[in-house]
């Protein structure tokens, strides 16, 4: 595929990627992808991965599901051993290829989508509940719970 500079494009159901589905609220929808294989000016084999997918995540602010559009655009340098990683040009992520030189495109797409997921998904349109955003009521000194360190404060004053 690299020597022939092959390109692939299509659509892949989200449900076909089980590791990704574990991190999602729902496996509905599909991912549109483009994979372009080739060699750069240094002779390094690469695959350009472009993926767009609407992913169902759970907002960690409201705990409600929402759709987050995810776009991936990355170049992966195809290497056979970890020693080759240092020879990759800047901005190229390594992709370790099996000894038989076979690459499963679905696994590559799934890995890139997993890496694009936010650590803490938050719906940008979400609003915090009023009881969280309301400032706390003032508590008078007499109503405060007993502080176990109050005795130490008195000793420090003396």
Q: What is the mean pLDDT of each run of 10 residues along the chain (158 residues)?
A: 86 96 95 94 91 95 93 93 87 88 90 95 80 60 66 74
Domain ranges of the chain: 7-129
> Side by side, which strands form the sheet with 7-13?
7-13, 30-39, 45-58, 65-79, 93-96
Give the pLDDT of residue 145.
64
Give the pLDDT of residue 133.
58
Beta-bridge partner residues of 75: 48
Give the pLDDT of residue 144.
61
Give the pLDDT of residue 128.
67
Instruction: For residue 98, give the DSSP letter.
Output: P
Give the CA dihedral 57, 60, 61, 63, nearest 10 degrees: 70
Q: Return d(Cα 75, Cα 49) in angstroms, integer.
A: 6
């Amino acid at each position: 595929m690299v020597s022939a500079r092959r390109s692939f494009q299509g659509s892949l159901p989200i449900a076909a990627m089980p590791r990704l589905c574990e991190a999602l609220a729902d496996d509905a929808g599909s991912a549109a992808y483009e994979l372009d294989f080739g060699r750069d000016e240094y002779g390094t084999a690469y695959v350009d991965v472009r993926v767009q997918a609407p992913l169902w995540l759970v907002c960690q602010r409201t705990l409600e599901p929402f759709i987050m559009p995810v776009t991936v655009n990355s170049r992966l340098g195809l290497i056979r051993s970890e020693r080759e990683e240092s020879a990759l040009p800047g901005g190229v992520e390594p992709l370790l290829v099996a000894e038989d030189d076979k690459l499963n495109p679905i696994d590559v797409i799934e890995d890139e989508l997993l890496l694009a997921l936010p650590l803490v998904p938050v719906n940008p349109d979400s609003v915090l509940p009023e009881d969280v955003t309301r400032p706390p009521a003032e508590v008078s000194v007499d109503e405060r719970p007993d502080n176990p360190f109050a005795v130490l404060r008195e000793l420090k004053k003396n």
